[in-house]
Amino acid sequence: MTPPRGRRKGRRWISEIPAVRCFLPDGSPRTEAASLNLEELEAVRLVDLLELEQEEAAFYMGISRRAFWNDLTSARNKIATALVYGMGICIEGGSYVLRDQKSGDGMGDAAVTSKDAEISLLERELELLSARLELLNARIKSLKGGDEEVGEEGPL
């Protein structure tokens, strides 16, 4: 086996490891699954869910814009392949550092964002989730014919 060419892949900062790490299509006889790295999932979360600019997201993960673009493209390709061909998606492995852990890996303070930046990002995620909840509540209300009011906590 030949050694890989170029520099080794640097470690990326991620916010959390998801509780559910494998998704399988309903009623599919396939047992194959696309393997998504944790840092690829983080890239998709930052850009597609939180709607950050790629430059912001790359800074948040502590990597270059080019490395971030490679992770994002790879993740989107794997997700599309799984959806089109009825494969599962498993989230596993990668080269990452959890954001709330103290780093002893020599990356230095340059890769660590300030608490204010992290708070801002979490507030942004909360705003998006609140807007989504309002949209879902309005949809439920319209489907029920507007007879019943849906509480602020949602239809749970």
Q: What is the pLDDT of residues 26-80, one digit of tens each?
A: 877 767 889 999 999 999 999 998 888 898 889 888 889 999 999 999 999 999 9
Whole-number pLDDT of residue 60: 86
Q: Which candidate, 74, 75, 73, 45, places its Cα nearest to that of 60?
A: 45
> With the C-alpha atoms ordered 20, 49, 62, 70, is the resulting torsion angle positive or negative?
positive
Whole-number pLDDT of residue 47: 93
Whole-number pLDDT of residue 130: 85
Reported as type and span, the H/E element at residue 73 is helix 65-85
Tokens of 14: 């991620």
Beta bridge partners of 14: 98
Whole-number pLDDT of residue 3: 64
Q: Cα 72 to chain center, whole Å? A: 10
Q: Are 40 and 98 in contact (CB under 8 A)?
A: no
Average pLDDT over every residue of 11-38: 85
